[in-house]
Copies of this chain bind each other. A is one copy, B any other.
C-alpha cells in the first residue's frame, strides 16, 4: 500500500522505467500508443514521481526563491506588497511545476548575508527573484551571483542590458500623477519622498519633477520633504508643509503609508479633504481603499511582475538565450476621493 514507484508503472505498462520517465517528463520520441499505455498505468496507480529522487538524479531542486523586504520589520509595513508578489510568483511556479520558497528579509540586519548563504546551501534553488528595494543591493544579490544561481531583479529602477529584469514605470507614472494633480488646478504640489537610497523612490521624485516641468510649474525644493517611508515621517512632513505661510494645495507622497500620515495630520488640523487639500499616495496598499477619504494612489502590477519574472527565470535553462534587458509592466493611476479640484 506504499506509494507506487516508477517501477510499478513500468511493470504495469509493460515498458522500461526509462520510457515511463520519458512520458512523465513529456520528452519526445515516444510512440503515441506507448505513451497512452503508460499514461493509463500512471493514472491507474495514481503514480506521482518522487521529487527528491528526481531532484537528486537531475541535479535540480525545483525550488524558486522569492526575496523581499520583510514587512514585519520595514518602516512602511506594507504587507500587501509581499502578498501580491507571492501571488504572482506562486502562479508562475504552479505552471512550471516548481515550488516557491519565500524569504522575507530585513536588510538592516547584519545576518542577511549569512542567512542567504545558508539558504543557498540548503536549498540550491533553480532561480531567485529579488524584489525592490533589495534588488538594488549588492549584499543581497552577490551571494547568488557567487553561487551561480540565476536571479531576476524585480523593479531594479534602472535598465541594464547585461541582465534580465522586470520593472515598472515609476518615473513616468509619478509624472502622470503630478500632471493629474496639476490638471485639477493645483500649482503648489508638494512631494514627500521616502528613502532616496531606494532607486524606486528616487525615480518617483524625478517623475514628480518631470510632471511639474511638463505643466510649466517650477520646482521648489521647499516643497519636497524627505521622509523614511513611515507613517510618522508622513505626519512630520505634513506638519512642516502645512505650517508654511502658503501651504501646498496638494501633497503627493512616495508611498501610501506616508500619505496616510499626511492625511491624519491634515484632518487633525481641521482641513477638509479633498476640498482644502488633495493627497495622493503610491502603492495602492489595502489601506488606501479604507482610509476616509479613500486615497488616490498608484498601483504597481506586482503580481504580474513577479509572475513574469519567475516564468522568464524558468523558461530558459540556457544562460545565453535567457532574455536580456528590462521588461516593463506599467503601473496605473487609481483615482479615489482624496484628490479633487482646487476650490
Contact with B along A53-94 (1 / 0, CB 8 A): 101100001010000001110000111101110110010000
Contact of A231 with B289 in the complex, beta carbons under 8 Å: yes
Contact of A124 among B51, B78, B101 (CB under 8 A): B51
Contact of B61 with A90 in the complex, beta carbons under 8 Å: no
Number of copies: 2
Closest to A103 in B: B90
Contact of A100 with B101 in the complex, beta carbons under 8 Å: yes
Contact of B292 with A292 in the complex, beta carbons under 8 Å: yes
Alpha-carbon gap, A264 to B263, bound state (A): 14
Contact of A86 among B87, B104, B289 (CB under 8 A): B104
Closest to A89 in B: B102
CB of A58, distance to nearest CB on chain B (Å): 9
Contact of B289 with A291 in the complex, beta carbons under 8 Å: no
Chain A residues 82 to 133 lying within 8 A of chain B, measured CB to CB, are 82-84, 86-87, 90, 97, 99-102, 104, 121-124
Contact of A72 among B87, B104, B260, B287 (CB under 8 A): B87
B-chain residues with CB within 8 Å of residue A287 when the two chains form the complex: 286-287, 290
CB of A44, distance to nearest CB on chain B (Å): 15
Contact of A72 with B84 in the complex, beta carbons under 8 Å: yes
Alpha-carbon gap, A114 to B55, bound state (A): 24
B-chain residues with CB within 8 Å of residue A51 when the two chains form the complex: 52, 61, 122-124
CB of A240, distance to nearest CB on chain B (Å): 19
B-chain residues with CB within 8 Å of residue A70 when the two chains form the complex: 87
B-chain residues with CB within 8 Å of residue A268 when the two chains form the complex: 292
CB of A60, distance to nearest CB on chain B (Å): 9
Contact of B290 with A257 in the complex, beta carbons under 8 Å: yes
CB of A78, distance to nearest CB on chain B (Å): 8
Alpha-carbon gap, A185 to B225, bound state (A): 43
B-chain residues with CB within 8 Å of residue A84 when the two chains form the complex: 72
The 10 closest A-B pairs by CB, nearest first: A52-B55, A79-B79, A48-B121, A52-B56, A260-B290, A79-B83, A264-B292, A79-B80, A52-B52, A53-B56
Seed contacts A51-B122, A100-B102, A102-B102; 14 additional CB < 8 Å A-B pairs? A50-B124, A51-B52, A51-B61, A52-B52, A52-B61, A63-B99, A79-B286, A86-B104, A99-B123, A260-B290, A268-B292, A287-B290, A291-B292, A292-B292
Q: What are 7 A-to-B residue pairs whose CB atoms are below 8 Å?
A: A50-B56, A52-B53, A87-B104, A99-B122, A100-B102, A286-B286, A292-B292
